[in-house]
Amino acid sequence: MFGPSLMQLDLSRNQISDFSLLSYSLSTCQNLKLLNFLDNKLKGKLELSSLSCKNLMVLDLSCNLFSGPIPSSLMPNSLVSLELLDLSHNNFSGKFSTLHFAQCSNLTKLSLSHNSFSDSGFSLSLRNCRLLQALDLSHIGLRGKIPGDLLGNLRNLKFLSLANNEFIGEIPPELGQACGTLEELDLSSNKLIGGLPLSFTSCSSLQVLNLGNNLLSGYFLSAVVSSLPNFRYLFVPFNNVSGYVPLSLTNCTRLQVLDLGSNAFEGSIPPGFCYSTSSLERILLANNYLSGSVPVEVRNCKNLKSLDLSFNILNGPIPTNIWNLPYLSNLVMWANNITSEIPEGICVNGGNLETLILNNNLIGGRIPESISKCTNMIWVSLSGNKLTGEIPSGFGNLPKLAILQLGNNSLTGKIPPELGKCQSLIWLDLNSNGISGALPPDLANQVGAGGLVEFEGIRPERLESFPMVHSCSSTRIYSGMTMYTFVNNGSMIYLDVSYNNLSGSIPENFGTMSYLQVLNMGHNKLTGNIPESFGGLKAIGVLDLSHNNLQGYLPGSLGTLSFLSDLDVSNNNLTGLIPIAGQLTTFPASRYENNSRLCGVPLPSCASGAHSTNLHTRNKKAPVAVGMVVSITFFLFCILGLAIALYRVNKNQLKVEQREKYIESLPTSGSSIWKLSSVPEPLSINIATFEKPLRKLTFAHLLKATNGFSAESLIGSGRFGEVYKAHLRDSCVVAIKKLIHITGQGDREFMAEMETIGKIKHRNVVPLLGYCKIGDERLLVYEYMKWGSLESVLHDTAKGRGSRLDWEARKKIAIGSARGLAFLHHSCIPHIIHRDMKSSNVLLDENFGARVSEFGMARLVNALDTHLSVSTLTGTPGYVPPEYYQSFCVQQKPMNRQ
């Protein structure tokens, strides 16, 4: 297959799953020097006999799906010429301490990161790798204390990463004594205490130090770090470091990034940080207790790109010449006591500014007109200040603007119709101002995609006491970047113009904003009818039209809004019967009160009072007209009925044909793939994780990841679809639920799960990572649970899996399940009621932790009305609360039982 003279074989990123190709390559590698199988689909245990690759220098098997222990034949003992060994991003297991590196004299790079080793010991033979320059042992499950003799004889080491493990205790001083050549050290995301030992002052070559997400404290920044002149990147966020920010850090003249956020620093910001020759590009001091004013010397940091001073106690004005910084792209100072006005001249020297977040300060004056020159602006948040004047129409010239938050100010004038030109706007908050005039129909014109980043780098507990910040009590307040992809007009998802002086009617085209989730127009002077087109707000969850002068009937189309969890039309001039449709009758009477001619559940019956008198008068005046209308209506219904009958016959025939074609196209073996020639361009979907940025996938990617949804990838099935195991290109394993699409229930199930679970993050709930819609296909992407369902583990005695569950494990699963349910039922607004709890709906992760799953019967429960009527008993055989069976009403907690 390969000639004996072959010296390099690079088969990276080819979706190779045939292990025999790798086995053959390693068995005929007498002269091979480079072998690269990076980013393929190779899986299973590596069972290789002794190899004869005496000349092999580079072996890269990273980003595959290998499992089991690392075979000794792949270690440098057998591959004596090996210089680079990369086995990262697999699922290798076993004990790290048993790996042998006795003969690794030529090894310069070793990466074993993102695997699953299980012990706390280090392989002592690593110290034999005297030429080693890069060692990556991050995210492999190591525990205990960092051994002091870790570096041993590694006098040439330049890169060392022990991040994302479970190390405890202090950083050993011996590590600093042996770091003469070390340039980059990453100890982040462990449980280390204390500080950085004084011995690290001898690390004269150190350029990058990451100590973030630990429990460090003390004064090591001034005592140790300040004496390292070659420092370029310093990351110490999310620790317990206190005291003043040391001015001595300016001794690090090459420093480019300084991240001290989320600690307990106090005092003022040292003005000496910024001097004429400063190299600083990012200064991140958010979420501390800093006071005083922002030093005017910040204008001297000519290379500054990001300045984040949010969530401190800073006062005084924003430095006047801050806009002269030529590279400034992010200015974040929210939640301080900043005063004065926004300095004039924003973006006059170029449109590099992308983020301007100054909300919740004491800033007054007008919004500078020159903000229209910030053509790269993505997020503007000026809410909760004392701004006056009109909203600049120049906002409409910002094609990338995704979020505009101007609420809780004293702005006046009209809403600029030019905002409809913002191609990416998804979030518009103008509440609690003095804005007047009519609602511009142009606001429904957005057709682009926006991005949302919120509260990144802020400790959740600090936000709990902050006004106007709402979160689920058991989750983090942020999860990094969230992207939205839109395919229809009206990309806005949040629109709040409440508590203003708006007048006129509601534009009819607002009903076309199909992605809108929150629409608040309450407390204005709006008149006219509620548009019938509001039935097109299919994603709406909160709709507030209260305290206006609206009149006419409540549109029956509102009853089709299946995700509506909060409706308020109180204090208007509405009339007629509240439609008995959807959830409209489940909201409390307070949501309809003070509409003198509105009646029906939950208000008093329409049979009494002014409403019935009015109906009698109208009927008495126009008996002939009514008769004519009835006759014409009957005739039209006859014609319409005939047309519908013919349409349904043709449609049913088409569905049968599509159903037959779909069944015939299903793959029957692992080698089968779907033909996509007749399928439109696959829609992109978003995969969100806790620690990683979003990854854009397509429907075609999911097909490849499951081998065309083949039978070999099938791992489960339920009443709403089948579940497949999928191996993505980056070695991640996910579970994909392919919902049935024979009836309309699949769409409803898809939307219910997507809208509710997609935003839920809890350690005892199976997270929904993403979704995909294309044609009739509805796919949900979940985090993969290694041990499957609790039911299968309990009852799969043939494989001996049930024996893994001793009483301690069962107790852990029971507590985890209870915590997951408690979170869903109580900790989030709106509440999510499971209603189908059983052992098959509890999945077990790799550590046998319980994760509640299957929210097919989940429903949004209104925060003010915890009852949701249903027509039939919901769920599958299993436990049914007696009060639910008796009343068919959802409640957050059981009735008191005697």
Binding residues for ATP: 738
Ramachandran angles phi, psi of 686, nearest 5°: -115, 130
Residue type at position 163: A
The two structure tokens encoding residue 555: 């549109």
Q: Determine if the peptide bond prior to 602 is cis (ω within 30°).
A: yes
Q: Angle CA(492)–CA(495)–CA(500) in degrees, nearest 5? A: 155
Burial 661-674 (b: 16+ CB within 10 A, else e): eeeeeebeeeebeb
Burial tier of 268 (Cβ tally within 10 Å: 0-12, 13-18, 19+): middle
547: left (phi over 0), alpha (psi -120 to 50) or beta: left
In whole angstroms, what is the distance from residue 443 CA to residue 426 CA? Answer: 10
Catalytic-role residue among 308, 730, 836, 865? 836
Instruction: List CB contacts of 867: < 8 A, sequence separation 6 or more.
Output: 586, 889, 890, 891
CA 382 vs. chain centroid, Å, equals 24
Count the neighbouring beta carbons within 10 Å of the beta carbon of residue 15: 11
**Angle between helix 610-621 and helix 623-665 axes, rounded to 10 deg:** 110
* Sequence-ordered alpha helix ranges (H) in 510-665: 610-621, 623-665
Ramachandran angles phi, psi of 708, nearest 5°: 70, 30
Contact (CB, 8 A) for 103 and 77:
yes
Contact (CB, 8 A) for 650 and 643:
no
Q: Determine if the peptide bond prior to 319 is cis (ω within 30°).
A: no
Q: Among 838, 848, 845, which Cα is nearest to 807's?
A: 848
In whole angstroms, what is the distance from residue 514 CA to residue 501 CA? Answer: 26
> Percentages helix, strand, coil for the chain, rounded to the nearest 5?
25, 20, 55
Count the neighbouring beta carbons within 10 Å of the beta carbon of residue 425: 28
Q: Measured between alpha carbons, how far apart are the two ends of the chain, in Å?
A: 78
Residue type at position 627: G
Burial 440-466 (b: 16+ CB within 10 A, else e): bebbbbbebbbbbbbbebbbeebbeee
747 catalytically annotated: no
Binding site listing: 738
Please give the order of strands across the beta sheet that includes 573-577. Answer: 551-553, 573-577, 597-599
Beta bridge partners of 567: 543
In whole angstroms, what is the distance from residue 652 CA to residue 636 CA? Answer: 24
Instruction: List CB contacts of 596: < 8 A, sequence separation 6 or more.
Output: 573, 610
Burial tier of 690 (Cβ tally within 10 Å: 0-12, 13-18, 19+): exposed
Burial tier of 491 (Cβ tally within 10 Å: 0-12, 13-18, 19+): buried
Contact (CB, 8 A) for 90 and 66:
yes
Residue type at position 224: V
Burial tier of 203 (Cβ tally within 10 Å: 0-12, 13-18, 19+): buried
Q: Among 426, 401, 431, 399, which Cα is nearest to 415's?
A: 431
Active site positions, annotated = 836
